[in-house]
Amino acid sequence: MLARLGFKRGLALLLVLPLLAVVALSVPLVAGRLASASSADSTADLAQRARGISGLIHDLQKERLLTLAYLTTPEAEREAVRVATAAVSDRAELVLGASRAPGDDGLIRAVEHLRRLDPLRYEVLRRNATTVQVHAAYQDVIAELSGALTLTGRAGNDPVGLRQLDTFDAFLRVGEDVANYATALLVGEEDPAEGRALATEALLFADWDMARFRELDTTGQAAELTLINQSKAVQRLDASARQLATGVSLERQDKTLAAAQTTLILTRMIYQRMTRDIVADSRDRAARARTAAGVVAGLCGLLAVGMIAVGVAVLRYVVRTRQNLTRAIVVNRHVAALVAAAARRLVGATSAQRGAIDELRRSQPLDSADPRLHQLDHLTARLRCVSAALLVVADVVDEAPPPDRAALIEVIEEAIGTVEDRQAVETGVVCDVTIVPELVADLRLVIAELLENATAASADGTAVKIRAAVGRDVQVLVVDWGTGMSGDRLAEENRRLAECTQPDAAPAATMGLHVVGRLAARHGLQITLDENFGPGITAKVVIPPRLFSTVPAARSLPPAAMPSLGPVRPSLLPLPRYPEPSAIAQLPSVPDIPTVEGRFGWFDGAEWRYLDRRALPSSPEHPSSPDP
The pLDDT assigned to 604 comes to 41
pLDDT at 57: 92
Cα Dmax for the chain = 172
Please report which confidence band the pLDDT of residue 149 belongs to, taking 50, 70 and 90 as the band edges. Answer: confident
Element (H, E) at 406: strand 406-407
pLDDT digits (tens, 9 = 90+) for 457-468: 888 778 899 999
pLDDT at 571 over 60: no
Please answer whether residues 142 and 61 qualify as being in contact, where contact means their C-beta atoms are separated by less than 8 angstroms. Answer: yes
Q: Which band of pLDDT confidence, cut at 50, 70 and 90, is reported for residue 477?
A: very high
Among 136, 146, 200, residue whose Cα is nearest residue 175 = 146
pLDDT exceeds 90 at position 138: yes
Assess contact for 62 and 80: CB atoms under 8 A.
no
Give kind and range of the element (H or E) at residue 257. Answer: helix 256-363
* Cα gap 10→16, rounded to integer Å: 10
Reduced 3-state DSSP string for 465-485 = EEEEEECCCEEEEEECCCCCC
Give the angle subtended at the CA of 155 by the CAs of 152 and 161, to the nearest 5°: 65
Query: What are residue 465's phi and psi, to 5 degrees?
Result: -105, 145
Query: What pLDDT shows up at residue 468?
Result: 94
User: What pLDDT is attached to residue 356?
Assistant: 72
Strands 464-470 and 434-435: unpaired
Q: Tens digit of pLDDT for each residue in 200-218?
A: 999 999 889 888 888 887 7
Q: Compute the average pLDDT of residues 303-311.
A: 82
Q: Model confidence over 173-203: pLDDT tens digits?
A: 888 888 998 898 888 888 888 989 998 999 9
Cα of 281 vs its chain's centroid, Å? 43
Cβ pair 524, 540 in contact under 8 A: no
Closest by Cα among 160, 164, 184 to 172: 164
Q: Kindly list the distances between the CA atom of residue 153 and the CA atoms of 150, 166, 476, in Å, as whole numbers in the listed order.
A: 7, 8, 94
pLDDT digits (tens, 9 = 90+) for 252-291: 556 677 888 888 888 888 888 888 988 999 899 999 989 9
Element counts in the chain: helices (H) and strands (E): 17, 8
Q: Which of 63-72, 132-141, 483-492 comes out lowest in average pLDDT?
A: 483-492
Nearest residue to 155 via CA among 146, 145, 147, 165: 165
Mean pLDDT of the chain: 77
Query: What string of DSSP letters covers 476-539?
Result: EEEE--SS---HHHHHHHHHHHHHT--GGGS-GGGHHHHHHHHHHHHHT-EEEEEE-SSSSEEE
Q: Can you tell me the distance from the alpha carbon of 616 to that of 1, in angstroms, rounded to the nearest whole number?
A: 52
In angstroms, the CA 376 to CA 352 distance is 12
Q: Is 567 a residue whose pLDDT tops 70?
A: no
Which of 275, 590, 604 lies closest to 428, judged by CA?
604
Is the per-residue pLDDT at 455 higher than 60? Answer: yes
Residue 312 has pLDDT above 90, yes or no: no
Residue 70 DSSP SS3: helix
Look at residues 289, 12, 53 and name the one whose alpha carbon lies nearest to residue 148: 53
- d(Cα 392, Cα 343) in Å, to the nearest integer? 10
Asked whether residue 318 carries a pLDDT value surpassing 60, the answer given is: yes
As a residue count, the chain comes to: 628
Q: Which residue has the higher pLDDT, 353 or 484?
A: 484
Q: Is the pLDDT of residue 597 over 70?
A: no
CA 389/CA 512 separation, integer angstroms: 8
Could you read off the pLDDT of 608-619 as tens digits, one per residue? 333 443 344 443
Burial class of residue 504 in the structure, from the number of CB atoms within 10 Å of its CB (0-12 exposed, 13-18 middle, 19+ buried): exposed
Q: Which of 279-293, 398-412, 538-552 has the lowest mean pLDDT?
A: 398-412
Question: Do 367 and 582 meet the contact criterion of CB atoms below 8 Å apart?
Answer: yes
Residues 488 and 429 sit within 8 Å (Cβ to Cβ): no
d(CA 334, CA 353): 28
